[in-house]
Amino acid sequence: MKKITILLPLHKIDDEYSVMLNNAVNSLEDFHNDVILMIICPPNVKNSLSNLSQKLEIVYQVNSGDIGFCNQINLGISKCETEWFSILEVDDEFRKVWLKSMNTYITENPDVDVFLPVVKDVNVEGTFISFTNESAWAYGFTEKQGFIDNEVLLDYQNYQTSGGLFRTNVTKENGMFKENIKLTFSYELLLRLTHNGVKIMTVPKIGYQHVNFREESLFWSYKNNEETKLSEGEVKFWLDSAKKEFFFKNKRDIKYVES
């Protein structure tokens, strides 16, 4: 029985997205014996998708509601029946070592519920920019090398949840993404999990490649889109909010008001 569901949220499909989607799906093909790909998308997108892979088991979760990233992922998690799930963004890809390294670490660390890979951040041309999640292994950075704890998270925010392997029931128990938190929803989730005693560690292998600031991506729009751009004050507000909201399992009403 397959034990991992890969959640791939897709809010639209066009020529550019088709290329990205094929690339993302291809990166999973070597894992076909172990993973189910769940594509969460609106009905019109689902109708445009076919023959994505000969090898992979693909299920579709039609989303007729809000197609924001967090809503799509939360819907996927709520429908997930496997022991573990991971998130694959449409413009990203898994690296070949991901499954093998995750499996090894799952076996060796049965008390750990979240495994983050070292993420290779690249630009749209594929040029290396930096690694993410790797700092957990830096000597003296965290209390226990390889692990990310709440104390460290309060000082360092730059962790990437896409590509991470989450134990499904633990994530459901602790609450999922809070879609009303802009920018720092991943950070808030990690803070909440660690606050609740969930062990998170980084697998020291480059398991996931993330395209940084692709034009029109969510984080690009926070920085560059005139309509959705966040001011410095708002960035600070969402960071501070994450640090306050992680005490609560479910989302609360929060709204940024420009002072």
Partner 1 sequence: MSKNIENIEKLKEALGRLENSTNTVYFLTYDTKNNPRASVKYIYDLAFVLKENGTNSKILVEDSTYGGVSHWLGDKYKDLEVVSIKEDKIEIKIDDVLVVPEYYSNILQQVSNIKCTKVMLVQQKDYIFETLPVGSRWRDYGFDRVITTTESSKKYISEIFPESLIHIIPPIIEDNFCPSDKTQKPFIAISCRDRVVHRRIISEFYLRYPQLRWVTFRDMVQMGYEEFSTALKECFVSVWIDDESTFGTFPLESMKCGVPVIGKIPSMEPDWLSENGIWTYDTSKIVELLGTYTLAWLEGVELTNEITEKMSETLLPYSKSLTENNILSVFNSFRNKRIESINNALEKLKVEETV
Which residues here bind partner 1, judged by CB under 8 A? 95-97, 100-101, 104-105, 108, 118, 128, 130-131, 134-135, 137-139, 141, 145-146, 204-206
Torsion angle of C-alpha atoms 57, 211, 214, 230, degrees rounded to 10: 110
- Give least dist CB 139 to partner 1, A: 5
Query: What's the CA gap between 238 and 243, in Å, rounded?
Result: 9
Whichever of 141 and 256 has its CB closer to partner 1, that residue is: 141
Angle between helices 185-195 and 232-245 (to 10 degrees): 20
Give the Cα separation of 184 and 112 in Å (integer). Answer: 23
To partner 1, the closest distance from the beta carbon of 26 in angstroms equals 17
Cβ distance to partner 1 smaller for residue 132 or 194: 132
Smallest distance, partner 1 to C-beta of residue 122, A: 12
101/162 with CB nearer partner 1? 101
Nearest approach in angstroms of CB 34 to partner 1 is: 16
Are 52 and 22 in contact by the 8 Å Cβ rule? The answer is: yes
Smallest separation, CB 23 to partner 1 (Å) = 18
| Spatial distance between the Cα atoms of 135 and 145, rounded to a whole number of angstroms | 9
Contacts of 122-126 spanning 24+ positions with Cβ under 8 A: 122/209, 122/210, 122/211, 122/212, 123/211, 123/212, 123/213, 124/211, 124/214, 124/215
| Residue 109 or 180 having the CB closest to partner 1 | 109
Q: Which is nearer to partner 1, 39 or 200 (CB)?
A: 200
**3-state secondary structure (DSSP) of residue 2:** coil
> Could you tell me the smallest distance in angstroms from the CB atom of residue 77 to partner 1?
27
Of residues 10 and 203, the one with the C-beta less far from partner 1: 203
